């Protein structure tokens, strides 16, 4: 018997987009959504055509220098997410949300001056922006493979990079909580941080465990049977990242839960599209 509730396809989609809504509300409640970036005078972007496209058109700069625009876009995204979570069949809404979220991601990470991995809240819309059933199905398959490859390739980078160095995680951990020590804002996570810095063998085991979880995504290249378990493992991996490295999962949860939809594409390729 499966430990997972047997929700209908439509209900699963609604839940996924309610998670996206919750994630976006977390950006607002944290105080880093578009309306809070008003007046920022420093950004740093890389050599990346996606960022160049938006910044050459002065879109992020315009949003950040016009407070009303930031507030309007924040409100619009919330409104559209509520509407879309009620009815994920509306492909035009999905397309609009994809563009708005991409604009938010490019603006936030440009002014944050740091590309995070949490682009999941943008990519999660891709399978839903197509009108034709077969296109939806193929888009879902492509996004699913991208998700798996994203984590798998991360493990390969580690395998070919620093797998032999036992002090790897301990060394990285020295920089992760330094601002907390500067402000004397310490607690169990900073205590754990210090423990792992000084116990390299234990931190190395955790490093290998994290890498194995990322590596396990490769199973999804051959079968969809384990997708739900992979999703849980990846969420566990991100929870560990938050505890050990102070890197949050917010922004990536809904994307990972797309793996819960794969059963519906397992039986027949057209079924996924028809049920949407």
Partner 1 sequence: MDMAFFPHNDMFAEAAGNRLTASTYGVKINDRLVPITHYPYWKKDFLEMSLFEYASYIEHDNKVYLDDYLLAANISPAIRQKLSASLTPDDIKAQTWPFWFAGLTGIKINFPCKAEIIRYNYTFSGKRPALLDSSAIYSIYIAQ
Report 169-188 residues binding partner 1 (CB under 8 A): 169-172, 174-175, 178-183, 185
Residue 1 or 29 with smaller CB distance to partner 1:
29
Residue 170 or 262 with smaller CB distance to partner 1:
170
> Taking the complex as a whole, how short is the minimal distance between the CB of residue 6 and partner 1, in angstroms?
33
Residue 80 or 196 with smaller CB distance to partner 1:
196
Answer whether 13's CB lies under 8 Å from 276's CB. Answer: yes
| Residues 84-113, mask of contacts with partner 1 (x by CB under 8 A) | ---------------------xx-xx-xxx
> Taking the complex as a whole, how short is the minimal distance between the CB of residue 138 and partner 1, in angstroms?
18
d(CA 257, CA 227): 9
Alpha helices (H) along 88-223: 91-112, 120-123, 133-161, 168-173, 178-182, 188-198, 200-216
Contacts with partner 1 in 132-151 (CB under 8 A)? 150-151
d(CA 108, CA 86): 27
> Taking the complex as a whole, how short is the minimal distance between the CB of residue 55 and partner 1, in angstroms?
5
Pick from 119, 139, 256, 258: which binds partner 1 (CB under 8 A)? 119
d(CA 206, CA 168): 11
For the beta carbon of residue 267, count every other beta carbon within 10 angstroms: 10
> Taking the complex as a whole, how short is the minimal distance between the CB of residue 56 and partner 1, in angstroms?
5
Residue 8 or 165 with smaller CB distance to partner 1:
165
Label residue 114 left, alpha or beta by phi (over 0 means left) and psi (-120 to 50 means alpha): beta
Tell the residue number behind the tokens 């199973």, with chain if given. 219
Among the candidate windows 13-21, 85-93, 161-169, 220-228, which touches partner 1 by CB under 8 A?
Answer: 161-169
Cβ contacts of residue 244 below 8 Å, gap of 6+?
169, 173, 176, 192, 193, 196, 206
Contacts with partner 1 in 63-82 (CB under 8 A)? none
Torsion on CA atoms 86, 104, 154, 176, rounded to nearest 10: -110
| Residues 9-48, mask of contacts with partner 1 (x by CB under 8 A) | -----------------xx-xxxx---x--xxxxxxxxxx
Residue 26 or 232 with smaller CB distance to partner 1:
26
Q: CA triplet 73, 27, 184: central angle to 5 degrees?
A: 145
Total residues contacting partner 1 by CB under 8 A comes to: 71
Q: Which residue, 59, 63, 64, 62, is CA-closest to 39?
A: 64
Residue 1 or 56 with smaller CB distance to partner 1:
56
Helix 91-112 with 9-30: angle, nearest 10 deg: 30
Pick from 14, 67, 115, 228: which binds partner 1 (CB under 8 A)? 115
Contacts with partner 1 in 182-221 (CB under 8 A)? 182-183, 185, 194, 197-198
């Amino acid at each position: 018997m499966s430990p997972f509730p047997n929700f209908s396809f439509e209900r699963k989609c609604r839940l996924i987009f309610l998670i996206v809504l919750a994630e976006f509300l977390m950006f607002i409640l944290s105080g880093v959504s578009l309306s809070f970036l008003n007046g920022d005078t420093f950004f740093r972007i890389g050599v990346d055509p996606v960022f160049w496209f938006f910044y050459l058109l002065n879109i992020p700069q315009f949003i950040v220098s016009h407070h009303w625009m930031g507030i309007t876009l924040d409100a619009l995204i919330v409104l559209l997410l509520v509407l879309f979570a009620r009815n994920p069949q509306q492909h035009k809404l999905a397309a609009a949300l994809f563009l708005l979220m991409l604009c938010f991601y490019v603006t936030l990470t440009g002014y944050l001056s740091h590309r995070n991995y949490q682009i999941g809240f943008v990519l999660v819309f891709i399978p839903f922006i197509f009108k034709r059933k077969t296109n939806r199905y193929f888009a879902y398959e492509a996004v699913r493979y991208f998700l798996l490859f994203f984590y798998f390739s991360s493990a390969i980078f580690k395998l070919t990079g620093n797998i032999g160095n036992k002090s790897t995680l301990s060394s990285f951990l020295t920089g992760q909580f330094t601002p907390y020590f500067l402000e004397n804002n310490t607690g169990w996570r900073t205590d754990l941080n210090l423990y792992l810095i000084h116990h390299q063998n234990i931190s190395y085991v955790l490093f290998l465990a994290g890498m194995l979880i990322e590596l396990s995504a490769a199973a999804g290249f051959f079968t969809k049977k384990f997708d739900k378990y992979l999703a849980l493992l990846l969420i566990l991996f991100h929870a560990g990242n938050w505890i050990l490295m102070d890197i949050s999962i917010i922004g990536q949860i809904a994307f990972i839960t797309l793996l819960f939809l794969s059963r519906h594409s397992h039986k027949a390729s057209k079924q996924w599209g028809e049920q949407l």
